[in-house]
């Protein structure tokens, strides 16, 4: 890699400019642009943003120049669904599942006990470690959820700790009804009252989103609607865990209430597909979770063919998807879910950004993520390969060569 002086300010904007050249393949993942795959391309970064991109032969001068030697560049992954604030280990549960035991939602309570027992500093260290792992794999924008504390103080603590390390925090107090103090099943209605009242009040200052696990063994459609309505009234955006174990009604609830995304989507009726296609709700699929639970892979091909907006996310969590590798999820989407490399990469970048409503510049001045476009945040994922297809062509290989986040090289 070579760095040489250039002409300061050539690309416009404030701060030093950097010309990144030697790009064999550049994928912008911008659905508003026709030519989303450029060959022999270059990018200029300035002030944390994309200041210019196009053919390398036409690139302007900049203060510094980085030559990537023919490698591929795509936007950083936007992971719109993860659960990073946890302690403990559930490998025994995973091993039992691989031996044939069915997945049920109740395993969350095991993580709840371990997370409650961890100190603040232990949780901070664990979250930072997991964020570092995600960044090392090309993730540059990351959402994570509460949901393993399941009482007022623990959920508020999880949100505060998450907010120190991730870009977007989601309140998931409605992850599971925790057991009573004597170990008997908890009172679902009383717990929903708590989630909609004191717990919401404690968590809301630290979160941007609210989510609910609308599923058999977790929360009914009616209970889920109560939670979402209360959270919307508190100013939080809405998300839904839906249709993971069956046609739970979560997809229809998400569409009807105007949620930004509904995640999992393994079991969809024709009506669900039609509703998603006609709505602004993003269908987020979680391939690593499907493999880990031996569930039917979510019908990503059908969702796209129906006209729905698709996102791919890691669902990193201790019970059903203990990986933050979005590259692995993209490879799975191509190899097993019927997506092209362009569709899969776009779903894991622009699709994730759309699921977080960060695909365009917000009115408050936040910079768009998930696509490479002039004015957008400069989040770049450089592959140690000449083209993005190598993510599926060489599955499981450590192909992340370099990462820029908001214009700064972080790997």
Per-residue pLDDT of 78-104, as tens digits, reads 999 999 999 999 999 999 999 998 877
The neighbour count for residue 161, using CB atoms within 10 Å, is 23
Reduced 3-state DSSP string for 20-64 = EEEEEEEECCCCCCCCCEEEEEEEEEECCEEEEEEEHHHCCCCCE
Residue 4 has pLDDT above 50, yes or no: no
* Distance set, CA 262 to CA 152, 252, 258, 259, 273 (Å): 25, 9, 10, 7, 12
Superfamily of chain region 78-355:
Metal-dependent hydrolases (3.20.20.140)
What does the DSSP assignment read for 183-210? SSPP-HHHHHHHHHTHHHHHHGGG-SEE
Mean of pLDDT over the chain: 93
Question: What distance in Å separates the CA atoms of residue 137 and residue 403, rounded to the nearest whole number?
Answer: 9
Task: Domain ranges for the chain, please list them.
Answer: 3-76+370-409, 78-355
Residue 11 has pLDDT above 80, yes or no: no
The pTM of the whole model exceeds 0.75: yes
Question: What distance in Å separates the CA atoms of residue 43 and residue 51, rounded to the nearest whole number?
Answer: 8
Q: Can you tell me whether residue 70 is helix, strand or coil?
A: strand
CATH fold match for the domains 3-76+370-409 and 78-355: no
pLDDT interval class at 9 (50, 70, 90): very low
pLDDT interval class at 304 (50, 70, 90): very high
pLDDT (0 to 100) of residue 30: 87
Note the pLDDT tens digit of each residue in 331-390. 999 999 999 999 999 999 999 999 999 998 766 656 799 999 999 999 999 999 999 999
Question: What distance in Å separates the CA atoms of residue 312 and residue 82, rounded to the nearest whole number?
Answer: 11
Residue 395 has pLDDT above 50, yes or no: yes
- Write b or e for each residue in 218-248: b if 16 or more Cβ atoms lie within 10 A of its Cβ, otherwise e: bbebebbbbbbebbeebebbbbbbbbbbeeb
pLDDT (0 to 100) of residue 362: 66
Q: Which of 83, 137, 139, 75 is nearest to 115 (CA)?
A: 83
- The CATH fold assigned to 3-76+370-409 is Urease, subunit C; domain 1 (2.30.40)
Note the pLDDT tens digit of each residue in 241-260. 999 999 999 999 999 999 99
């Amino acid at each position: 890699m070579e760095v040489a002086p250039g002409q300061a300010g050539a690309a416009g904007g404030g701060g030093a400019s950097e010309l990144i050249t030697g790009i064999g393949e550049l994928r912008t993942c911008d659905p508003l642009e026709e030519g989303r795959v450029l060959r022999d391309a270059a990018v200029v970064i300035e002030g944390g943003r994309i200041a210019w991109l196009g053919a390398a032969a036409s690139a302007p001068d900049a203060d510094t120049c980085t030559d990537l030697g023919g490698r591929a560049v795509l936007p950083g992954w936007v992971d719109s669904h993860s659960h990073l604030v946890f302690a403990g280990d559930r490998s025994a549960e995973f091993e039992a599942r691989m031996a044939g035991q069915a997945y049920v939602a109740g395993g969350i309570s095991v993580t709840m006990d371990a997370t409650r027992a961890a100190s603040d500093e232990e949780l901070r260290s664990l979250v930072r470690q997991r964020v570092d792992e995600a960044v090392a794999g090309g993730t540059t924008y990351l959402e994570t959820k509460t949901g393993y504390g399941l009482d007022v103080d623990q959920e508020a603590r999880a949100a505060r700790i998450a907010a120190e390390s991730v870009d977007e925090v989601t309140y998931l107090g409605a992850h599971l009804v925790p057991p009573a103090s004597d170990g008997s099943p908890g009172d679902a209605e009383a717990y929903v009252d708590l989630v909609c009242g004191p717990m919401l009040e404690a968590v809301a200052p630290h979160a941007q989103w609210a989510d609910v696990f609308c599923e058999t063994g977790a929360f009914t459609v009616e209970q889920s609607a109560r939670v979402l309505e209360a959270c919307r009234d508190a100013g939080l955006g809405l998300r839904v865990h839906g249709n993971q174990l069956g046609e739970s009604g979560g997809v229809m609830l998400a569409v009807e209430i105007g949620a930004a995304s509904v995640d999992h989507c393994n079991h969809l009726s024709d009506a669900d597909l039609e509703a998603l296609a006609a709505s602004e709700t993003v269908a987020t699929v979680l391939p690593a979770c499907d493999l880990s639970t031996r569930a039917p892979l979510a019908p990503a091909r059908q969702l796209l063919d129906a006209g729905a907006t698709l996102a791919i996310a890691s669902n990193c969590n201790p019970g059903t998807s203990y990986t933050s590798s979005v590259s692995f999820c993209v490879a799975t989407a191509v190899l097993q879910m019927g997506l092209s490399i362009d569709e899969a990469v776009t779903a894991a970048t622009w699709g994730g950004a759309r699921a977080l409503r960060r695909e365009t510049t917000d009115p408050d001045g936040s910079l768009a993520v998930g696509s490479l476009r002039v004015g957008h945040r400069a989040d770049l994922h450089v592959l140690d390969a000449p083209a993005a297809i190598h993510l599926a062509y060489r599955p499981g290989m450590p192909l992340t060569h370099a990462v820029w986040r908001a214009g700064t090289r972080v790997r």
